Amino acid sequence: MTPQNFCAPQIPDNVPTGPVRDFIAHWAEITRPDRIVVVDASDDPGLLEKALTAGELRPAGEGRYYSRSHPRDTARSEERTVVATSDPADAGVYNNWRPAEEVKVELSALLQGESAGKTMYVVPYLMAVPGSFLARHAVGVELTDDLTVVLQMIRMARVSTNFLDELAESSDPGYFVRGVQVSGDTGNLGQGTDADSRLFATIADERTIIHYGSAYGGNALLGKIAHALRLASYDGHRTGDFLAEQFMLLGVTDTVTGKTWHIAGGFPSASGKTNLAMTLPPDALGDRYRVTFYGDDIAWMWVGDDGRLYAMNPEHGVFGVARDTNERTNPAAMEAIRPGTGTIFTNVAYNDVTGEVWWEGRTPSTPADTTGWRDWTGTPIDERDPSDRDAPWAHPNSRFTTALTNVTTLAPDSSAPSGVPVDLIIFGGRTRDREPLARVVEGNAAGVYDGLTLGAEATFAAEGLDGQLRYDPMSMRPFLSYAEGDYARHWLDILDRLTTPPTFAHVNWFQRAPEDGRYLWPGFRENLRVLLWLLAYRDGTVTGTPTPVGTVPTIEELDLRGLTIQDADLSQLLHVDTLRWEQELRARTEHLAEFRDLPDEVWQVHRRTAAALAEEHPS
Ligand code: OXD
Ligand code: MN
């Protein structure tokens, strides 16, 4: 409801006159908040106190906090997320393109008076390592009417009022991303129905993000997905300067030779990206190798002066999925959320009496004493309807938000403005019976082809045929901002400018035994053994076995010291099933044909692969 006599609240004096002030005034006039507050990261303690007093956060042990979002507001909404521009050529298969003018009118109407009674927080942020040449693409100002969004942004981005002064002094003060997040009445937005009134729009050619109808995660922390992925990938293409991808980034150091490599990798959700980014070496290799963490979700990559691909993580925190995170799957994450870290847990189970938190997979079974425990909806466990007895305590998409500086495996050069050179790019889906443990593909076009055909197996019968992939090109399906053919061209253009391009490889930790469905590879820390083989291949110290779909390791070349695994399982893990691959290639033909103007280099790799497979069994 819009008050009739709206008296615009005062914009704080520390917002210099100019484009930022105008931007705030414009949206305050539309959303009509009661007050406007400018945020700096140093305000965190006071804001935490305020959120605790208001009951928006609860204490979760020393220096840790718990928040619960509305039960209808617990995940990113892909259907309600659009990319809008003034150029219809930006329409792709996955980006839900709409004309900018239409979307702007719709959003202005939706946002009318929607922040009445609330505070508009002004969050100036940087999604980059300070000093990086890409920092000019990374400054943004998010206006939000939700305090927990502010607190999460402080953990996920570099938040500082200094950016406002820098913008005022800049020769191009208009060059910042304008973000507006308005929560709306999250209980009454018709989520998931035909009357769903949420709308999450990136107006890419105006560098503006307007999200209505959620205070949760990727819908609401605009610096993360909307800016650092969707908009940044658009900017990267527009300027020709860089790639912005949903990739993890890690370093591997051989302490004997002193050599360090860097690996970037794209994995569809639920394929273990955060666990891999934070992995520790297996015990048997721990004396020799060190794995360091740069980022678990986003990498910006560009051509360095030395002709190598460079990467940085634009984020300043980790917004990790809590489910199944424990000391075995991800000890570094457990350490990063320890007491005193300022971690915010969202939608996990919470104990009102002790302040403890719990999620499925945290321990093998739920806490034995249910006193004080509530599930993620806030319902006391002891009062849940008996028919809900087996319902999870935590929401499957429950999260922890912690600053990068809490990650003890953080690489010492993680905030080097120069970024780090990338030696290897891996793609990893979740595939039960076709993808070998690892295969190297040769050349830039083959790398792009492999990324574009990345996918995870449909897990529910309703999602698709058994074993058929839900394709997730480069793990960017929900974040693509322009047409896929142009996206592939831009990837090739960047790679072709490199004199020393990275090696591309595909990995699969999820192969199952045909006879009993058990996982053939132990995964987690043991995955380093596979990465080490890929790095050795790049360095020319192993050669592997060529197959029609790439080069796979030989059993002898894998460093398996300290690992008990059957030879038969290893053979299966490294086997390429030609018939299954031919079936996959037919699905890929349909998948790639959807993309307008896909570069011929990519089609050539596809045809070459099909021909190589056909040669295996001449009919
Ligand atoms: C995602 C995320 O939704 O990283 O992919 O939160
Ligand atoms: Mn992600």
Please report the atom of ligand 1 found closest to the CA of residue 321: 6
Which tens digit of pLDDT belongs to each residue from 239-258? 999 999 999 999 999 999 99
Mean pLDDT, the chain, rounded, equals: 95
Residue closest to 136 by CA, chosen among 175, 168, 178, 179: 175
Cα 187 to averaged position of ligand 1 atoms, centre (Å): 22
- Atom 6 in ligand 1: residue holding the nearest Cα: 218
* Ligand 2 center to 269 CA (angstroms): 7
Alpha-carbon distance of 318 to 312, in angstroms, equals 14
By C-alpha distance, which of 417, 426, 182 is closest to 302?
417
Ligand 1, pocket-test mutation among 297, 395, 472, most atoms within 8 A of CB? 297
Phi and psi angles of residue 405, each rounded to the nearest 5 degrees, phi first = -65, -10
The residue among 475, 433, 431 whose CA lies nearest residue 457 is: 431
Question: Is the Cβ atom of 428 under 6 angstroms away from ligand 1?
Answer: no
Q: Is the pLDDT of residue 462 over 50?
A: no
Question: Which residue, judged by its Cα, is nearest atom 2 of ligand 1?
Answer: 218
**C-alpha of residue 615 to centroid of ligand 2, in Å:** 39
Q: What is the mean pLDDT of residues 65-93?
A: 96
* Cβ atoms within 10 Å of 157's Cβ, excluding its own: 28
Cβ of 510 below 6 Å from ligand 1? no
Assess whether the C-beta atom of 218 lies below 6 angstroms from ligand 1: yes
Q: Tokens representing 441? A: 């593909």
Give per-residue pLDDT as tens, 115-152.
999 999 999 999 999 999 999 999 999 999 999 999 99
What's the burial of 427, exposed, middle or buried (CB within 10 Å: 0-12/13-18/19+)? Answer: buried
Residue 469 confidence (pLDDT): 83
Report the 10 Å Cβ neighbour count for 367: 17
pLDDT tens readout for residues 194-245? 999 999 999 999 999 999 999 999 999 999 999 999 999 999 999 999 999 9
**169 confidence band (pLDDT: 50, 70, 90):** confident
With a cut of 50, say whether residue 463 has pLDDT above it.
no
According to DSSP, the residues that pair with 81 across neighbouring strands are 200
Give the residues across from 289 on adjacent strands. 254
Task: State the Cα–Cα distance between residues 372 and 378, nearest whole angstrom.
Answer: 11
At residue 132, what is the residue type?
A: S
> Looking at residue 92, what DSSP letter applies?
-
| Measured CA distances, 454 to 103, 248, 444, 476, 507 (Å) | 31, 15, 15, 10, 11
Instruction: Tell me what the mean pLDDT of segment 375-397 comes to.
Output: 94
CA of 531 to the centre of ligand 2 (A): 21
For ligand 1, atom 3, which residue shows the shortest CA distance? 218
Index of the ligand 1 atom closest to the CA of residue 76: 3
**Confidence class for position 459, pLDDT limits 50, 70, 90:** low
The model's confidence at residue 56, banded by pLDDT at 50, 70 and 90, is: very high
262 neighbors 221 (Cβ within 8 angstroms): no
Mutation test residue for ligand 1: of 211, 267, 269, the one with most atoms within 8 Å of CB: 269
Which numbered atom of ligand 1 lies nearest the CA of 269? 5
Evaluate: CB of 472 within 6 angstroms of ligand 1. Answer: no
Q: Evaluate: CB of 247 within 6 angstroms of ligand 1.
A: no
Residues across the chain: 619
**pLDDT score at 1:** 46
CA 64 to centroid of ligand 1, rounded, Å: 22
- Nearest atom (ligand 1) to Cα of 399: 6
Shortest-distance atom of ligand 1 to CA 478 = 5
For the segment 522-539, the average pLDDT, to the nearest whole number, is 97
- Nearest-atom number in ligand 1 for the CA of 217 is 6
The response to whether residue 76 sits with its C-beta less than 6 Å from ligand 1 reads: yes
How do residues 486-503 score in pLDDT, each as one tens digit? Answer: 999 999 999 999 999 999
For residues 297 and 413, the answer to whether their CB atoms sit within 8 Å is no
Assess whether the C-beta atom of 297 lies below 6 angstroms from ligand 1.
yes
Distance, in Å, from the CA atom of 616 to the CA atom of 366, rounded to the nearest integer, reads 51
CB neighbours of residue 581 within 10 Å: 21
Best probe residue, ligand 1, of 229, 319, 325, 398 (max atoms within 8 Å of C-beta): 319
The pLDDT confidence band at residue 618, using thresholds 50, 70 and 90, is low
Q: Is 319 in the pocket of ligand 1 (CB under 6 A)?
A: yes
CA of 218 to the centre of ligand 1 (A): 6
Using the atom order of ligand 1, give the atom closest to the CA of residue 319. 6
**Is ligand 1 within 6 A of the CB of residue 317?**
no
Candidate of 73, 246, 397, 480 to mutate for ligand 1, largest count of ligand atoms within 8 Å of Cβ? 246
Q: Percent of the chain having pLDDT more than 90? A: 91
Give the pLDDT confidence score for residue 568 in this predicted structure. 96
Give the Cα separation of 463 and 170 in Å (integer).
50
Closest CA to 294 of 317, 324, 271: 317
Q: Within the chain, what is the greatest distance between any pair of CA atoms? A: 81
Nearest Cα to 122, choosing from 232, 16, 235, 6?
A: 16
Q: Which ligand is nearest to the CA of 75?
A: 1
Q: How far does residue 475's CA lie from ligand 2's centre (Å)?
A: 9
For the stretch 585-607, pLDDT in tens is 999 999 999 999 999 999 999 99
Residue located nearest, by CA, to atom 1 of ligand 1: 218
267, 280, 291, 432 from 270: Cα distances, Å? 8, 19, 22, 14
Closest residue to atom 4 of ligand 1, CA basis = 297
Quote the radius of gyration of the chain (alpha carbons, Å). 24
487: Cβ below 6 Å to ligand 1?
Answer: no
451 lines ligand 1 (CB under 6 A): no
For residue 322, which ligand has an atom nearest its CA? 1
Ligand 1 contacts CB of residue 227 (under 6 A):
no
Secondary structure class of 160 (helix, strand, coil): coil
Taking residues 179-185, what's their average pLDDT? 97
Cα(181) to ligand 2 centroid in Å equals 19
What global pTM score does this model have? Answer: 0.96
- pLDDT tens-digit series, residues 274-309: 999 999 999 999 999 999 999 999 999 999 999 999
Report d(CA 24, CA 552) in Å as an integer: 55
Is residue 429 left, alpha or beta, with left meaning phi > 0 and alpha meaning psi from -120 to 50?
Answer: beta
Q: Which atom of ligand 1 is nearest to the CA of 479?
A: 5
**Closest by CA position to 595, among listed 494, 444, 490, 442:** 490
Bridge partners (DSSP) of residue 425 are 264, 504
The β-bridge relationship of strands 177-182 and 208-212 is parallel
